[in-house]
A and B are shown apart, each in its own frame.
Chain A
Amino acid sequence: MVPVTYYVALSAVLFVIGVLGVLLRRNALIIFMSVELMLNSANLVFVAFARLFEGLAGQVFVFFVMTVAAAEVAVGLALIVAIFRSKRSVDVDQMSSLKG
């Protein structure tokens, strides 16, 4: 069997790549995808520890995280579409004014 540490290490690597994506890229869509990657790596740890401690609460929590992520993506992409309508760009550097 694979020790649980390996799963935590893999999840940490994926999380760091997600952080790097948020910090480096300026395309708002890619930043969104990086946030999804981070949520996903957290889910992986939840499932690994649910398996380790033989409790189903971790898996139920992952289910809720997925639901919240779906809602977040729906609203976030709607915001990006609305911003694109006024700015003609999804570059986060362009989104510097509060007025639409």
Chain B
Amino acid sequence: MKADERHTQQVSSTSTTAPSNAGSMLALRGFAWLLALQTIGELLVRQFELTVPGPVLGMLFLLVALRWRAVQTAVSSCAEFLLTHLSLLFVPVGVGVMTHLGIFDTYGWRIALVLVLSTWAGLSVTALVLRWLQKTK
């Protein structure tokens, strides 16, 4: 019985390929939006010698553009895919650490100590300040 249901579900989902096609088309359109806004950001940064990085400007532009439903539907699936796999994107830079191991020969434990302690400081101060502010509200 259950197998039958699943079968009919499968059939119905394969027979209506149009929506899923539209979905992947939308994701590509969303990717085009992300790239276009980043490019505009990069060009403005270069042209006016701004201190803000191009992708950050792109993010601000997208925040404005998301008022339009067409942009929302296009960007949502693409953005969710990119952000779900965000940590993958750090692997190439991470492997690049191996080319700078020289700096750790001279300052190794000192750099490690500074990085660890300052990260802990950032983590605890943010969480504690936020908790305190939420309590007093």
Partners in one complex: no
Interface residues of B (CB under 8 A from A): none
Residues of A within 8 A of B (CB): none
